[in-house]
Amino acid sequence: MPRFAANLSMLYNDLDFLDRFAAAARDGFTAVEYLFPYAYAPEQLAALLQQQGLQQVLFNAPPGDWDRGERGMACIPGREAEFRDGIAQALRYAQALQCPRLHVMAGMVPAGVDGADAAILRSTYIANIRHAAEQAAAQGVRILLEPINGRDMPGFFLSRQDQAHALVAEIGAANVQVQMDLYHCQIVEGDLAMKIRQYLPTGQVGHIQIAGVPERHEPDVGEVNYSYLFALLDSLGYDGWIGCEYKPARGAAPHATSDGLGWLKPYLTNAQ
C-alpha cells in the first residue's frame, strides 16, 4: 500500500504554515514534506512533528535568493562556499527533524550558456553534489536530485529522468538518488509506467511526488491515471514515500485541501 506525505508548502494553504501540521494529521497523514524550514527554529518544527505524530520525510537545501528567481546553486560556478554553508545548515535541520532525505536543487542555467561554459556548469554540479553527499553520509541522509519541467521552471539545469540517473552514476555516491516527480516527468517525457518500470528497479529512486497534469491539482484530476500507477509501484515493491505536492483545485478556500482528499481516503484507511 502506498504511503503518502503531505506537502505543507502547497497543501492547507488557507492556514498559517505552523497550523498545517495539525491539519495534515487530522486528515490521516503520518508524514510531511515541504520546500524550506529555515524561517523557523528547528526545535519548533521538531516539537510540532512530535506533537502531531508526524515524520519529516523531505525538505530542500537552501536555494539561494528565491525571491530573485534563484532555484538552487549546485550548478553555479563561484557559489561553492555559499552552497557548502547551505548544506551545513540543511544538515543541522535534518538532524533536528530526523529527516532522512534532502533535496538539493540544481539551479538555473544562465542565459546564453553553451559549449565549454555548459561543461563547467556540469562539473561544478557534480563536485557540489559529491561534497553534499559526503557531508550527509555521516548522518545517514540521502541527497536527492530532482528533474523539473521547463514549463514551470524555464532554464532549470535538470529536466529529464535519464539525465538525473546518468548524473547519479557519475557522482558515484551511494546516498545520492533521484527524486522522481511524476508531474514533472509527465510534462517533459510522458510514458510514466515505462519510466517507473525502467528506473525503480535500479534502486536509484529515493522519493516520488505526484500532482494532476496539466494544472498541478489533485491527482484524480487531469490526464494521469494515478490509481494504475500506485498499483504498479506496489507491484514493483516500492516502499518509500509519495509526496503530495499539488495545488488544491479550490485554491486557498477554507478546507480546500481536506475537501479534495477523496482520492486518498482508500489509502489512508490501511497501513500508514
The catalytic site residues sit at 146, 245
Angle at 200 between CA 195 and CA 203, to 5 degrees: 145
The residue among 219, 224, 223 whose CA lies nearest residue 248 is: 219
SS3 content of the chain, % helix, strand, coil (to 5): 40, 15, 45
- Return the closest-CA partner of residue 267 out of 204, 199, 203, 220: 220
Q: How far apart, in whole angstroms, are the C-alpha atoms of residue 13 and residue 15?
A: 5
Strands 142-145 and 176-181: parallel
Alpha helices in the chain (DSSP H): 20-26, 42-52, 80-97, 116-137, 161-171, 182-188, 192-199, 226-235, 256-259, 265-268
Q: Look up cell 535519464; give the residue.
A: 162
